[in-house]
Amino acid sequence: MPLLTTPYAELDLIRQPDQANDPLQAFDAADEYLLEQLHGQALVAGSRVLVLNDSFGALAVSLASGHCQVVSSGDSHLARMALEKNLARNGLAFDSVPFVPASEHWQGTFDRVLVRVPKTLALLEEQLIRLQGHLAPGALVIAGAMIKHLPRAAGDLLEKYIGPVQASLAQKKARLLTASVAERRTAQSPYPTRYQLDMPALELVNHANVFCRDGLDIGTRAFLPHLPGNLGSARVADLGCGNGVLAIASALANPDAHYTLVDESYMAVQSAQENWQAALGERAVTVLAGDGLAGVEKQSLDVVLCNPPFHQQQVVGDFLAWRMFQQAREALVVGGALYIVGNRHLGYHSKLARLFRGVEQVAATPKFVILKARK
């Protein structure tokens, strides 16, 4: 894979999760443009730089060699893993750049903020609102993206919450938006949002980066009536739990079952924790940000529920889903079962049949299938 060469460093970077012969690189022209722009500003030694939504550490690792005090923050546990691995891979201490999950708040003020514009603009809006009180005098907020992934609304949000915005010329199909800090009325965040479910009767809290934040996604809606029942004291995992609705609905119907909820989004985990407590009080549960079931003991689960994603940032494909299926198989006891919902056209039945001894269709809608795969 090519090295990232910038005015700050020459780096060998990898993506997360690991994928053999990964055809994609861990940086793009927007990363290069952001670093070039920052270097041209000749920041004084000791300047504090906040890096937001750095997918694989390209920005933070470049700045970690003593050029400034850098803090990285975002909503992806996989991005945190990539940052730590890429620091070590390039001869730096794995914890030399502090990482602040999007579910937590930053400390102190920053002279520069480098932003990779996220796919979910609600996350960008929440981050810009949170910058209030964290920008030093003369600070700049510089947002970058490949042009095809840079909506006009990103500039509007920078203008609304930070100050006047100047767009750069295009460079290798990337563009930067630089916002100068101006006086703005203190903004109240519109997040988290909430919506109601009838069956089961729940009010669900959804922090800014939760998938389908304003209402139940149609795949989950198709899945809910067909969750497995009569689970007794089964050990159940909700893999890629989002706001936790699958596990919560299952737990309400199975009072003796034991649940683990895991997602790679810190805001999803935060939402799931709050929703579980609202629906089930102090009933024991494990809710964690993680790389799927990678850290779960082998043959420790009886049931896995999953509504798998079909993209990582802007990259669409079934790699993450396939990896989740493999992790589920490892974590399940012999005779345990994985239940999933998926779009018909994704062909999950044949993929699951390569891993599990039996795959059956539990239910179907014109768009979705619910499948049970038994180990």
Quick one: pLDDT at residue 315? Answer: 44
Quick one: pLDDT at residue 17? Answer: 86
Q: Tell me the pLDDT tens digit for each residue of 131-159.
A: 999 999 999 999 999 999 999 999 999 99
**3-class secondary structure, 206:** strand
Q: Name the pLDDT band for 211 (thresholds 50, 70, 90).
A: confident
Distance between CA atoms of residues 65 and 79, nearest Å: 19
Cβ neighbourhood burial of 196 (10 Å; 0-12, 13-18, 19+): exposed
Distance between CA atoms of residues 298 and 327, nearest Å: 9
Cβ neighbourhood burial of 30 (10 Å; 0-12, 13-18, 19+): buried
Mean of the pLDDT values across residues 341-348?
A: 88
Cis omega (within 30 of 0) on the bond before 192?
yes
Q: Name the pLDDT band for 24 (thresholds 50, 70, 90).
A: confident
Q: Which residues of 266-288 are buried (b: 16+ CB within 10 A; e: fewer)?
A: bbbbbbbbbbbeebbeeeebebe
Q: Tell me the pLDDT tens digit for each residue of 215-227.
A: 899 999 999 999 9
- pLDDT exceeds 70 at position 312: no
Sequence-distant (≥ 6) Cβ neighbours of residue 265 within 8 angstroms: 75, 76, 77, 209, 210, 242, 289
**What letter would DSSP give residue 121?**
H
The more confidently predicted of residues 312 and 161 is 161
Percentage of residues in the chain having pLDDT higher than 70: 97
Domain residue spans in the chain? 4-180, 193-374
Percentage of residues in the chain having pLDDT higher than 90: 83
Quick one: pLDDT at residue 314? Answer: 46
Distance between CA atoms of residues 123 and 102, nearest Å: 9
Distance between CA atoms of residues 80 and 71, nearest Å: 12
- On whether the CB atoms of residues 143 and 115 are closer than 8 A, the answer is yes
Nearest to 114 by CA among 60, 190, 47: 60
User: CA 205, 103, 126, 342 torsion: positive or negative?
Assistant: negative
For β-strands 332-343 and 258-263, DSSP reports them as: unpaired
The reply to whether domains 4-180 and 193-374 share a CATH topology is yes
Length of the chain: 375
Q: Name the pLDDT band for 311 (thresholds 50, 70, 90).
A: very low
CB atoms within 10 A of CB 352: 23
Sequence-distant (≥ 6) Cβ neighbours of residue 18 within 8 angstroms: none
Q: What pairs with residue 289 in β-bridges? A: 263
CATH assignment, 4-180 = 3.40.50.150
Quick one: pLDDT at residue 310? Answer: 64
Which residue type sits at 372? K
- pLDDT exceeds 70 at position 336: yes
Sequence-distant (≥ 6) Cβ neighbours of residue 341 within 8 angstroms: 219, 220, 222, 223, 306, 307, 368, 369, 370, 371
Q: Name the pLDDT band for 316 (thresholds 50, 70, 90).
A: very low
Sequence-distant (≥ 6) Cβ neighbours of residue 156 within 8 angstroms: none
Q: Dihedrals φ, ψ of 339, to 5°?
A: -110, 130
**What letter would DSSP give residue 344?**
G
The CATH architecture that domain 193-374 belongs to is 3-Layer(aba) Sandwich (3.40)
Quick one: pLDDT at residue 346? Answer: 86
Q: Tell me the pLDDT tens digit for each residue of 242-295.
A: 999 999 999 999 999 999 999 999 999 999 999 999 999 999 999 999 999 998
Mean of the pLDDT values across residues 179-206?
A: 94
